Structure 1
């Protein structure tokens, strides 16, 4: 079996059998392509069936010079998944990464925004322009519903169930969930939809897409990042602000105000509660307040 054939089969497995999104499949393939490129550059003619633990270790040692521990861990994890697939399909009997440990990495949490900083960002929007109302609705939706940027740009009008107080969100692996939506967020969504979007010439492929660019087409991930970066600069916020910052702030503020972690997990669409715990970082002061308020021997 040659590398490219094995990679194509693995990508099909990830997409069809594991139901991963196109972005996730691409990221998995990047790690394997790094190994293939390294083998070619070093003129090591060995197949994925024959490659040994020693060769993998040599590769990891060399790439480690250029990557931080977090990136090293991701590559090791990506390669381990690929070789597990080959073992599962009985192309190999062992995984050459079984005895290779990932470097320990500290959990790094993205910045969160205070409610005051979120208000500053929204206040920086120029509402005299048509895209101003759209941008305000985008920020209110990111913060009000805790959406991923990919979920925001694919949100459809037919996914809005305002009377019931929910929106239907399509997350990773095309998994769908219902997320509660507050009256304030509904107000800004409806304002954009009824006052701005209704006057646009809309591309046939975007008739049901909620948030549109000036040409009546769906917005891209890059455009959302650009909008938020420019607003952060205009508002004078020095933190690293991205669409994900709003999602993290959404979860953290809910937890700090007493929301149940399991409920937050469902709203964020996390399969594992441990993933939710990473997003919901709270400071020691709040933990002390919870302890003093609820423990019977406070």
Structure 2
């Protein structure tokens, strides 16, 4: 079995059996390709079925010099998963990664924005849009983009979406009368998430005053958020939009679309929302994942304990 064949089989397994997203699958393939490149550079002809534990250890030792612990842990996880698959399918009798250990990682608390910072970013875009309207320049190309960008930020914060969930959001996923949107999460698992009236208003304004002006490309008719050419927005475009909005609004933190997701969850928990409800809205399989996202600072934790403890 060649590396190409093994990788293709494993890719199909991850997509069909595990239901992983394309981004996750590409990450696994990239990690395993690096091992293949290492073997080529070492002039080794070891195949996936014959590679020895010592060779993998040597490869990891080289990579560890360049990678941070979190990246090392992901690489070890990729290798373990691949060779566990080969063993499960009876291609190999043993797993050459069985004795590998991942570096110990501390829990990394996600960065968040305060409510004031989020309002500041959204209000800056809104003010720019209103300035164009007051000056009679509603037909300026930037006016339609500002309407779209305001709707994007409101939707991210209102629903706590992943960036891929936002870019794949469809018109057919909007159930505004019921107050929900349908989200296609990891592994194409669907969930219904409540949406605020403010976000609904911004999306409806975008649909009537911005999206309706576009010449929509074939195959993108049902996609909600589109670029100037009437096509689905990319992840990179959302990242750029967020960082530009932060810079223009003088928000000094280094943020990404995921920062809105963290902030959404943290603010809900601080407001008294149930952790299980937040888990469902975020689309997490495990409650422990939600606990990392929705950290509380010590002052909030202290207030909560003192308020609810029966002996206080």
Judge same fold: TM > 0.5, yes or no.
yes
TM-score by length of 1: 0.97
Residue 144 of structure 2 corresponds to residue 130 of structure 1: yes
1:3 positional shift: 1.2
Among residues 148, 152, 155, which one is paired with 2:166 in the alignment? 152
Separation (CA, whole Å) in 1 of partners of 2:243 and 2:91: 47
Partner of 2:52: 52
The answer to whether 1:240 aligns with 2:263 is: no
Q: CA deviation at 1:109?
A: 2.7
Please point out which of 206, 224, 236 is paired with 1:222: 236
The 5 Å alignment of 1:148-187 reads: 148-187=162-201
State the partner residue of 1:77.
77
Note the 1:235-274 alignment, pairs <5 A: 235-274=249-288
Q: Post-superposition shift, 1:35? A: 0.8
Whole-Å separation in 2 of the counterparts to 1:53 and 1:115: 51
Q: Equivalents in 2 of 1:246, 1:80: separation in Å? A: 32
Q: CA shift at 1:123, angstroms?
A: 2.3
Superposition misfits of 4+ residues, deviation over 6 angstroms: none
Equivalents in 2 of 1:212, 1:45: separation in Å?
Answer: 48
Cα RMSD (Å) = 1.1
1:61 maps to what in 2?
A: 61
Which secondary structure does the structure 2 equivalent of 1:204 belong to? coil
Name the TM-score, length of structure 2 as normaliser.
0.93
Q: Deviations over 1:231-262 (max 9, x none)?
A: 11111111111100000100010011111111
Question: What secondary structure is seen at the aligned counterpart in 1 of 2:219?
Answer: helix
SS where residue 205 of structure 1 aligns? coil
Segment drifting more, 203-212 vs 78-87: 203-212
Does the 8 A contact of 2:110 with 2:292 survive in 1?
no
Aligned with 1:177: secondary structure?
strand
TM superposition shift of 1:291 = 0.6
Q: Which runs of no fewer than 5 residues in structure 1 stay unpaired?
A: none
Q: Following superposition of structure 1 onto structure 2, how do residues 12-51 of structure 1 map, counting pairs within 5 Å?
A: 12-51=12-51
Which 5+ residue runs of structure 2 have no aligned equivalent?
A: 133-142
